[in-house]
Amino acid sequence: MSKEVFFEGDAEVLPFTTPTTPTATLQKPSDVLDVPAAAPSTIWYLSITKPHVDSHDIIGPTKAFRHLLPRIEAIVSNSPTAIDKLAQLKETEDMWGETEPNEHFFNNGFEVFIVEGQRGSYTILKVVREINKEVFDILPAPVYTVVSVGPLEHAAIPLKAKSSSSSSTSASASKSPSAPLSPKFSPGKPKGYAATTQLHGSFTERAAARETAKYIMTVLLLDEENVNEIGRWEKGSKGGGVLMAMNATSMWEVKVVYADDPIGRAQEEADRGEDAFVL
């Protein structure tokens, strides 16, 4: 199987989707609602980022943007301004000035949609397109999706020491950014999911997804020192897994998500029906 992953807008097709260097803080983007028509064999993801709670979820892939709409509508339903904005996108005027469904929107979606919340909070909805014929052809069957996160910032919290000697050792280790993790330490709650989560594409075969995950972790850990690494994979020939790495100040994860999507499968079946799938 080809290991190429090509996202629309890339200057070239790379052997792997190389992770970018994440910024320490997430900047609020602007809406990008006008997008070109999708290319053939495009698969779709929905990225949901909530900076105020430091979360970043990725939904997909699906074979059509409209299959992501129920999740988008559920999030938008909590924001009056976003409800109005989405309603405007769904409609257009014909040559006689009559309102009709905006088929371009239902087929091609948007790039960035900001859902304003209360007290300055907001949610970033981003639709990501990937040209991937192998995955497109087998969806909605389960596929392997690779996602990375990190560096996450964590606080090394010393566990209750058994002696004053071990307490002293733990305290000195926590002050050194490059010190290896002590078994006396437990990581605090990581921070940075909203800013550092990256999607790297989907694969039909587990081996290709694992190879990509290993490469991505290698890139993420360049120039890092005293890092402990571990990997966990579901047993058998199928199933996902995770690669994890940690040092005294940061942690990283690269996940291979293997998931079935019964809702997407039902919608795909509806698309093949006489009336297709209509929201």
The sign of the CA dihedral 269, 274, 277, 279 is: negative
3-state secondary structure of 137: helix
55 lies in some domain: yes
pLDDT given for residue 263 in this prediction:
55
Residue 12, token pair as written in the block? 């070239």
Mean pLDDT over residues 95-102, rounded?
84
CB atoms within 10 A of CB 210: 20
pLDDT given for residue 188 in this prediction:
55
pLDDT in tens, 44-73: 999 999 999 999 999 999 999 999 999 999
3-state secondary structure of 34: coil
DSSP state of 187: E
Give which of 52, 116, 123 is closest to 81, Cα–Cα: 116
Listed in sequence order, the residues at least 6 apart from 110 whose beta carbon sits closer than 8 Å to its beta carbon are: 31, 32, 33, 34, 35, 89, 125, 127
- What is the Cα–Cα distance from 135 to 272, expressed in whole angstroms? 18
180 lies in some domain: no
As a whole number, the mean pLDDT across the chain is: 80
pLDDT in tens, 24-37: 578 899 999 999 99
Mean pLDDT over residues 39-43, rounded?
97
Q: What is the number of domains present in the chain?
A: 1
pLDDT given for residue 99 in this prediction:
85
176 lies in some domain: no
pLDDT given for residue 279 in this prediction:
23
pLDDT in tens, 151-197: 999 754 555 544 444 443 333 333 333 334 444 444 456 899 999 99
277 lies in some domain: no
pLDDT given for residue 275 in this prediction:
35
161 lies in some domain: no
Domain range for 145: 6-154+189-271
Percent of all residues in the chain with a pLDDT value above 90, rounded to a whole number: 61
Mean pLDDT over residues 100-120, rounded?
95
pLDDT in tens, 187-234: 456 899 999 999 999 999 999 999 999 999 999 999 999 999 999 999
Which segment of 6-20, 81-95, 127-141 scores lowest on mean pLDDT? 6-20
45 lies in some domain: yes
245 lies in some domain: yes
Mean pLDDT over residues 140-151, rounded?
95
Q: Who wins on pLDDT, 262 or 127? A: 127
Model confidence at 264, pLDDT cuts 50, 70, 90, reads low
pLDDT given for residue 1 in this prediction:
38
159 lies in some domain: no
- What is the Cα–Cα distance from 150 to 133, expressed in whole angstroms? 29
232 forms beta bridges with 242
pLDDT given for residue 237 in this prediction:
83
